[in-house]
Amino acid sequence: MAVVPILAITRQGGQSFVYVARQQDGHFIASQTPVVLGDTVGNSYSIASGLSAGDKVIVSSTQFLVNGMPVLPMGA
């Protein structure tokens, strides 16, 4: 089960989302992805569903993101 920082979660219309860096045409974009939250674990949420193994969850500056916006993952 995945665990993400509480601040990585955004809410819209009662639904919870995370932004995932997805590769498209050789570049990375921010993709708003719906998730189902599990329990809190310290300052994080467990994610019951919505993420796949290897997803690169964006955990900082999420308030500035827009779906489809170009991003550069750390270490890239």
- Summarised one tens digit per residue, pLDDT across range 58-68 is 999 999 999 99
Where exactly are the structural domains of the chain?
A: 2-63
The three-class DSSP label of residue 8 is: helix
Output the six-digit token pair for 34.
């719906």
| Euclidean distance between CA atoms 24 and 17, whole angstroms | 20
- Summarised one tens digit per residue, pLDDT across range 11-52 is 999 999 999 999 999 999 999 999 999 999 899 999 999 999
CATH class of 2-63: mainly beta
pLDDT at residue 76 is higher than 60: no
